[in-house]
């Protein structure tokens, strides 16, 4: 069947070796390209990216615990650090789409100018 993947493929991606952010990317199916569409493109996003330099997955968990609990000893400090508020469920789809489109344009194959032939 054209455009269909034979099996699900999972890729592992390690971002920031020091903090241990490991991502799994699952390719569930491959379909035929849509003419005029730029690839890669954002298909779906869930949750907000953790703040940069939050301390890896463990630091992010501590950060979320602190901002969610007004009685937490680091509550005010963490909210000030992040700029006032942080919703881990909020997703900036337009911003993420724009960022992926910028990468797609950067990675796109460049057409080269025709070479002049000299005899």
Token look-up 């650090």 returns: 81
> Looking at the predicted structure, is the pLDDT value of residue 2 above 90?
no
Please count the helices (runs of H) and the strands (runs of E) in the chain: 3, 2
Residue 53 has pLDDT above 60, yes or no: yes
DSSP tag of 58: H
Query: Which domains are delineated in the chain?
Result: 9-101 (3.10.290.30)
Per residue in 61-81, pLDDT (tens digit) is: 999 999 999 999 999 999 999
Coil, strand or helix: which one is 15?
strand
Cα–Cα distance for residue pair 46/97, rounded to 1 Å: 13
pTM of the shown model:
0.68
């Amino acid at each position: 069947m054209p455009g269909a993947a034979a099996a699900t493929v999972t890729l592992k991606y390690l971002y920031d070796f020091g903090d241990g952010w490991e991502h799994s990317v699952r390719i569930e199916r491959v379909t035929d390209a849509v003419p005029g569409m730029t690839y890669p493109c954002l298909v779906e996003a869930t949750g907000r990216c953790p703040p940069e330099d939050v301390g890896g997955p463990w630091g992010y968990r501590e950060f979320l615990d602190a901002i969610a609990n007004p009685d937490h000893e680091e509550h005010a400090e963490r909210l000030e650090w992040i700029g006032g508020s942080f919703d881990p469920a909020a997703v900036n789809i337009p911003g993420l789409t724009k960022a992926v489109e910028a990468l797609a344009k950067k990675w796109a194959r460049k057409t080269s100018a025709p070479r002049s032939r000299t005899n």
